Structure 1
Amino acid sequence: MSSVESLDVFVPTESGRLFARRWTPAGVHAPGGAPIVLLHDSLGCVDLWRDFPVLLAQATGRVVIAYDRLGFGRSDPHEGKLGLDFVDREAHEGFQAVRNALDLDGYAAFGHSVGGGMAIACAAADGDACRALITESAQVYAEDRTLEGIRQAKVSFAQPGQLDRLKKYHGEKAAWVLSAWIDTWLSPGFADWTLDAQLNQVRSPALALHGDNDEYGSTDHARRIASLAGAQQVIFADCGHVPHRESPEKVLKTVSDWLADAA
């Protein structure tokens, strides 16, 4: 396995700085293919990808980039609440700031969970600049299973000491991070949310990964991505919401093999 070099940067925006990290396979001055940009889940951040970005860079021979959305991880606090259009707005605001700062003319978007929805919105917004779209456990509408999983998580996080798990990664922003997830998704106004319009605008090759035991969304999401965006579906057996952590070898092989042909 080749070693991977990392570089941390802070990206200025009108609302605050965003933290980003770039991983480059060592000794590769011109990595093949478009850089892969990782978009994290509702409670996630760069550090919560753990060793996956390094493994992905090694497996694909590509630059891998991840960033903390405003309010998450090492990025600056978010002043206010998320709007119900936060998925689409991220594609047009935070993501574009990172893309411009890192001079990404073309990229492959890889999003996990709600980050998968954001990756779809990025692909829809950027046309040919998005060379490939990969979703993992993405939600593309407010499914009952998703909302029930969030309700159960709300009960769990109300127990003493549970918020400290998030403080390890988000510091004093942890309460905001939790609220941004739970309160937004359980808002009555979010019940009719879908990404159907964005899915219909995707033009890049697309790959939809999903676990058959995902507690936050059924495989219908992958089917919908395949139906509306022409994606290839891959359903991992006996796998939950985080395939890249539960079945990393399968995810890495599936993604690297597919990207070699796609972009």
Structure 2
Amino acid sequence: MTAAVQVATIAWNGGPLAIEYAWVGAAASTHPVVVFLHEGLGSLSMWKQFPHQFCEANGLRGLVFSRYGYGNSTARPAAERWATDFMHRQAFEVLPPLLAELGIERPWLFGHSDGGSIALLYAARFPHQVSGVVAVAPHIFVEPVTIANIEAAHAAYLHGDLRARLARHHADVDSAFFGWNDIWLDPAFLDWNIARELDGIGCPLLAIQGEEDEYGTLEQVRGIARIVDAAQVAVLAHCGHSPHRDQPAELSRIAGSFITGNGGSSS
């Protein structure tokens, strides 16, 4: 990410949160801003050049930021354990004041993995405050394959090189990793399911998933399509959980055409 990184301060949970962010893409775009919501272990820097290249290629302006607990945003205190509603709280309590602070109205939300779930939750709760959603490899319920690979990530963090690789992208890497890993591996999280909440989505919605996604089956995006009548689904061949790394050109083409083809906003 070569764009200038700035810091916004918002109030949340009785105190201030510092959120790092950067503007990317076409500053003069007439489309609504595209807000990028990263994966469970992601951050602003872990997107690398994809948001900028995506926005430049499609004539869009984008906002990239690190959610609370990630990157150089405020870290999760070591004693704080996230509850099963942590994605709901990001969607309902953290994202709205950040958008207000930055003067962003009715954005497109481009979310990956946990970020895709957060985008869906926001669109369902605030249907008149979003122009559309691109949900990439989102989770709407918990599957055994997801838990198995999150358990594998735990082992790789403790005994492999995952911690060293993530440390390049997070000021407090243990905060970022264990905030995510502990709640996903909590037995109480097995019942997490947001499918019944999605029928409030009325904006344009594109759900994208790789056919070789190691963190979820295609039932995730197919489930979205059964609930949201207007939802479109795209399945990418030879692609795993991170299409912006595995198939960036195809992802950019499909998602960019969807956004610009919908006029940049819902009616």
Name the TM-score, length of structure 1 as normaliser.
Answer: 0.93
Amino acid at match of 2:8: V
- Extract unaligned runs of 5+ from structure 1: none
1:71 Cα deviation (Å)? 1.4
- Aligned position for 2:232: 232
Correspondent of 1:62 among 55, 60, 63:
60
**Is 1:214 the equivalent of 2:213?**
yes
1:162 Cα deviation (Å)? 3.2
1:160 Cα deviation (Å)? 4.8
- Aligned position for 1:16: 17
Supply the distance in 1 between the matched residues of 2:225 and 2:178 (Cα, whole angstroms).
31
Output one character per residue of 1:142-184: Cα deviation in whole Å (capped at 9) or x when no partner. Answer: 111111111111111121543121111113x111211112110
- Aligned position for 1:177: 176
- Aligned position for 1:71: 69
1:24 Cα deviation (Å)? 3.7
Supply the distance in 1 between the matched residues of 2:158 and 2:17 (Cα, whole angstroms).
29
Give SS of 1:41's match.
coil
Supply the distance in 1 between the matched residues of 2:91 and 2:154 (Cα, whole angstroms).
27
**Is 1:167 the equivalent of 2:164?**
no
Supply the distance in 2 between the matched residues of 1:103 and 1:124 (Cα, whole angstroms).
21
Amino acid at match of 1:23: V
- Aligned position for 1:198: 197
**Is 1:129 the equivalent of 2:129?**
yes
Output one character per residue of 1:73-115: Cα deviation in whole Å (capped at 9) or x when no partner. Answer: 0101123121210111101122112201111111001100011
1:69 Cα deviation (Å)? 0.9
Amino acid at match of 2:137: S
Amino acid at match of 1:73: G
Supply the distance in 1 between the matched residues of 2:8 and 2:97 (Cα, whole angstroms).
7
Check the 8 A contact 1:23/1:53 in 2, yes or no: yes
Amino acid at match of 1:259: I
- Aligned position for 1:105: 105
1:120 Cα deviation (Å)? 0.4
* Residues 78-89 of structure 1: pairs in structure 2 closer than 5 A: 78-79=76-77, 80-89=80-89
1:32 Cα deviation (Å)? 2.2
1:7 Cα deviation (Å)? 4.3
Check the 8 A contact 1:5/1:25 in 2, yes or no: no
The number of residues matched between the two structures is 256
Supply the distance in 2 between the matched residues of 1:160 and 1:48 (Cα, whole angstroms).
19
Output one character per residue of 1:173-230: Cα deviation in whole Å (capped at 9) or x when no partner. Answer: 1112111121101111111101113311111110000000000001110101111123
Supply the distance in 1 between the matched residues of 2:24 and 2:254 (Cα, whole angstroms).
20
Supply the distance in 1 between the matched residues of 2:151 and 2:2 (Cα, whole angstroms).
40
Output one character per residue of 1:123-143: Cα deviation in whole Å (capped at 9) or x when no partner. Answer: 112212211111001111111
Supply the distance in 2 between the matched residues of 1:160 and 1:250 (Cα, whole angstroms).
32
Of 191-200 and 37-46, deviating more is: 191-200
Check the 8 A contact 2:76/2:179 in 1, yes or no: no
Give SS of 2:108's match.
strand
1:25 Cα deviation (Å)? 1.6
Correspondent of 1:48 among 46, 49, 62:
46
Distance 1:206 1:74, change over 3 A: same
> Equivalent pairs: percent with the same residue?
26
Supply the distance in 2 between the matched residues of 1:11 and 1:198 (Cα, whole angstroms).
30
- Extract unaligned runs of 5+ from structure 2: none
Name the TM-score, length of structure 2 as normaliser.
Answer: 0.91
Of 75-84 and 106-115, deviating more is: 75-84
Check the 8 A contact 1:16/1:77 in 2, yes or no: no
1:5 Cα deviation (Å)? 8.9
